[in-house]
Amino acid sequence: MGSWKLFAVSIVVVLLCAADTSAASAPARKSEIKLFITATNTKQALKTFQLDERRAKKRTVCFFDTSARSLAASHLILRARQSKKGHTDSTVKLRAEDDALELSDAELAIQPEQDWTNETGPAHSRSLDRDVPDNGLLSEVVAGRRAVIELFSDEQKDLVTGRAKDLNWADLRLYGPVDVMVWRQQWKLDGFPEEVTVELWNLQLDGKVLDVLEVSAKVKATTDEQAKELARQFFAAARVAGMGEPTGQSKTQMVLDFFQPGLPATATQPVHPGE
């Protein structure tokens, strides 16, 4: 597998919240709970999961924004992913720290999700996904032979320009690519009942390396209070496993920072998965 330089790890629990049967108007929604693990705790995390590359599925992930990150300033995230076999999908996500943004009718029509990075409360996000019919298109975009705009549907583009009205799509630049390995539902954390999926994100730029580990699990909750309790249980299980405290940091932010023009990428000492 070669030498890995490990800077930080992110653990994520994905909660699939079913609607409360006593409140028919409350839609089901997904909640994602994230724990960023600092370099101090990465060896313990790797020891817990004993990653085996032969059991992983591989894909490439890219983000897109202007050099000034004007989309991020408008609470927008543009992402595309491509599997080893070439299947490509794209996502436009609107994310804010709270639910105070004034939303358009089109934005309100998208089912909301919760993003937890601590136990206090979640941010809110709304995503539009697309299966890109042109397999391998992301590789062509990364190579500069195709335009970023081709990855996104008319509906996705309308969502973007509805909030970033002055965007010139030709100004978008690549933040990536990131090589990702995915291990689906192969482990459990003591004190948390669901199997977890592990993703290892490898960022490289000009000889610098940053690895981010993400762990996710899908469960069902009938109320926000139950979802919060499940999050508490997960954070408690992570503490017991020696994986540290939630810091409020996100993987998307780390990727954008790492590939930001003019900013130095951060690298640390090599660590091998499984150590």
The pLDDT tens digits for 113-167 are 877 777 887 788 899 999 999 999 999 999 999 999 999 999 999 999 999 999 9
Torsion angles phi and psi, residue 98, rounded to 5:
-145, -175
Q: What pTM, to 2 d.p., does this model score?
A: 0.84
pLDDT, position 275: 43
Element (H, E) at 49: helix 42-49
Q: Report d(CA 38, CA 249) in Å as an integer.
A: 10
pLDDT, position 158: 97
Contacts (Cβ under 8 Å, ≥6 apart) of 199: 180, 181, 182, 183, 213, 214, 215, 216
As a whole number of Å, the CA-based R_g of the chain is 19
3-state secondary structure 54-97: HHCEEEEEEEEECCCCHHHHCCEEEEEEEECCCCEEEEEEEEEC
pLDDT above 60 (res 23): no
* pLDDT-derived band at 59, boundaries 50, 70, 90: very high
Peptide bond into 112 cis (omega under 30): no
Q: List domains and CATH numbers for the chain.
A: 9-258 (2.40.320.10)
Q: Report d(CA 153, CA 156) in Å as an integer.
A: 5
Q: Which of 2-6, 234-238, 267-271 has the lowest mean pLDDT?
A: 267-271
Q: How many residues does the chain have?
A: 275
The neighbour count for residue 135, using CB atoms within 10 Å, is 14
**Per-residue pLDDT tens over the stretch 206-229:** 999 988 877 777 767 778 888 788
Cα within 13 Å of Cα(88), Cβ side: 21
Residue 266 buriedness (CB in 10 A; 0-12 / 13-18 / 19+) = middle
Q: Which two tokens stand for residue 134?
A: 């042109």
Query: Where in 117-271 does DSSP place strands (E)?
Result: 123-132, 173-188, 195-205, 208-216, 218-221
Torsion angles phi and psi, residue 162, rounded to 5:
-65, -25
